[in-house]
Amino acid sequence: MFTMKQLILGLLLIVGGITGFQAQSVNAAVKITSTSITSKVDTPLNLKSLVKTNYASTKIKSVTLTTSQPVLASPQNLTIGVKVTATDKSVASKNLTLKVVANNNLKQRANMIYFLQSAVPYIKGNMSVTKAPALTAQTWGGNVNFSGTDKQNTEFIGHNPGVFVQNKQLKIGAAIKVTDAKNRAFVYHVDKIAVVNPLGYTKAGVDLYPSITTRGTTEHIVLQSSVNASDKLIVFAH
């Protein structure tokens, strides 16, 4: 027979063991210690190497996004969600600040638009498109097959905020480099900047729609991005 003292001591040992086990389980769970991460413009986002946890890197099975793919075309601060899965099957999720910074060692690639500190990929589109893609620019008006030697206009559309977030920083004389499908580079210089309504009219009533969207007879490009819910920023460069 057990004495009352022995029973109480045994009960305390059992409770202590359970409590200790629970504490160990909580402490062993993976936790994300990063609050922000930094990546360069036009550089693949390697989350596994950037996101820090309380585990050794060898204990991390995967790090994935829980939000949409971020835009890495221009310097800006973004909020992203990440999920970390450890080899012991514990999981942690957290929202982080992604600081996209300038890349001073950009490698020229085909089908790109370079200006200021931005490196914006573009795809072929057409004027039936009603919304620019999320992660790239897209040809829209003029000759949608960008050439650089056809003596025609090509209009590129892109989001702001997004790939064209730096458009508003462009000034008269600023250089814009566009590469074609063969990675040949063509440099243009900004010679006109305007804000138009959805019909292509400026506040003064000037109709710029034809010069924005038609092919024309001179070699030039047009960049279009949003100013607000309705107005568009139009950048002409020859």
Query: Is the pLDDT confidence value at 6 over 60?
Result: no
Confidence at residue 169, expressed as pLDDT on a 0 to 100 scale = 97
* Average per-residue pLDDT for the chain: 91
Query: Is the pLDDT confidence value at 8 over 70?
Result: no
Confidence at residue 25, expressed as pLDDT on a 0 to 100 scale = 42
Nearest to 120 by CA among 74, 183, 153: 74
pTM of this prediction exceeds 0.75: yes
Check residue 168 and report its DSSP letter. Answer: G
Check residue 79 and report its DSSP letter. Answer: E
Q: Find the range with the poorest average confidence among 13-27, 111-125, 195-209.
A: 13-27
Q: Mean pLDDT over residues 108-133, rounded?
A: 96
Q: What is the CATH number of domain 112-237?
A: 2.40.260.10
Cite the residue boundaries of each domain of the chain with CATH code 2.40.260.10.
112-237
What amino acid occupies position 217? Answer: T
Q: Mean pLDDT over residues 114-134, rounded?
A: 96
Confidence at residue 77, expressed as pLDDT on a 0 to 100 scale = 96
Instruction: Check: CB of residue 202 under 8 Å from CB of residue 196.
Output: yes
CA angle 42, 46, 49 (to 5 degrees): 135
Confidence at residue 20, expressed as pLDDT on a 0 to 100 scale = 46
Q: Mean pLDDT over residues 135-140, rounded?
A: 97
SS3 45: coil
Question: Taking the mean position of all CA atoms in its chain, how far away is CA 208?
Answer: 30
SS3 156: strand
Query: Is the pLDDT confidence value at 230 over 90?
Result: yes
Confidence at residue 22, expressed as pLDDT on a 0 to 100 scale = 43
Instruction: Check: CB of residue 92 under 8 Å from CB of residue 28.
Output: no
Instruction: Check: CB of residue 19 under 8 Å from CB of residue 96.
Output: no
Q: Mean pLDDT over residues 175-181, rounded?
A: 98
Nearest to 146 by CA among 124, 167, 130: 124
Q: What is the CATH number of domain 36-101?
A: 2.60.40
Cβ-Cβ contacts under 8 Å for 180 (sequence gap 6 or more):
110, 111, 146, 147, 148, 186
Cite the residue boundaries of each domain of the chain with CATH code 2.60.40.
36-101
Confidence at residue 28, expressed as pLDDT on a 0 to 100 scale = 72
